[in-house]
Structure 1
Amino acid sequence: MLKLILILLGAVALAGAVWVRIAPSDPARWHLDPRREARPATPNFHLLRMGDGDAPAPIFDLPPQQLAEAFDKIATDSGATRIAGRVADGHMTYLTRSRLMGFPDYTTVLIEPAGAGSMLTGFARARFGHSDMGANRERLERWIAALAP
């Protein structure tokens, strides 16, 4: 009986691991405006925006189009897949996956004019689980740091 229970638990764990990797990503669900989204109740996100963000939205001395192109290159070169939005619009959403289990994370950025430069608002969040152990924060901060001259 114990052996059967262990086999069933293993099968459930395996099914969960497979689901995490094959679950469809609906771009409409994840491609949102990071200026307006509510803060999630779980700590598995990082939010850059003016007001109630985890950090203020950074300002860059680049025109919006140039910043959007640079950000897109950094994100896609690091292995992210753009699943929604257009670089020309400065509003893009990327899918990344954790190395070991393949948990999907979504990062949405909105780049808009700010004086002579641009402001980058961002929302990086996990799809599954309660904690991401800071992975979304680290990734978004790494991408933004790569934009610095």
Structure 2
Amino acid sequence: MGRVMTILWLLLIGVILGAGYIRLAPSDPAEWHVAPQGETDRDFKGGILRVVQTGPDGLARFDAIARVAPRTKVLAGSVEEGMITYISRTKVIGFPDYTTAQQDGDNLRIHGRLRFGRKDFGVNKARVDGWLGQM
């Protein structure tokens, strides 16, 4: 029984440390604040790419929506710069997802992706498509 309890305690400590790392790991703008690449909409296991014709003010309108979204903050960039990367975190564990939006003439390119894991279960698609729907 003592050995089972030791294993359970070690597992619990591992889960707590893993959750702490996920929530507190630094986000390097050099790694995540990169221009979205692509000319057409695509869905991936870990994210999405959207290319939307919005007119020249698309990034400003997108930014206004993203900034008021729950658990979302700006990692880097600005409307004036023409590109912004946001971090959105899940409610319980705080898994970070990154969304980069870039104005390219009348087109807005948006790349939403996860940081941890291989599959996001459609979370980035729902978030980005929801924000676009509000525009």
TM-score, reference length from structure 2: 0.89
AA paired with 1:67? Answer: G
1:91 aligns with 83
Cα distance, 1:46 vs structure 2: 0.9
1:17-96 to structure 2, matched below 5 A, reads 17-35=19-37, 43-48=45-50, 57-60=51-54, 62=55, 64=56, 66-79=57-70, 80-96=72-88
Contact 1:109 1:123 in 2 (8 A): yes
Q: Percent identity?
A: 36
Pair 1:146-2:134 in alignment:
yes
AA paired with 1:122? Answer: I
Pair 1:3-2:17 in alignment:
no
AA paired with 2:52? Answer: P
2:103 aligns with 111
Cα distance, 1:101 vs structure 2: 1.1
Which runs of no fewer than 5 residues in structure 2 stay unpaired?
39-43
Which runs of no fewer than 5 residues in structure 1 stay unpaired?
37-41, 49-56
**In structure 1, distance between residues paired with 2:11 and 2:120:** 24
Cα distance, 1:76 vs structure 2: 0.5
3-state SS, counterpart of residue 92 of structure 1: strand
Contact 1:68 1:88 in 2 (8 A): no
Cα distance, 1:89 vs structure 2: 2.4
Task: Compute the RMSD of aligned alpha carbons.
Answer: 1.3
Aligned length: 127
Cα distance, 1:110 vs structure 2: 0.9
Deviation >2 Å, runs of 4+ = none
TM-score, reference length from structure 1: 0.81
**In structure 2, distance between residues paired with 1:102 and 1:27:** 18
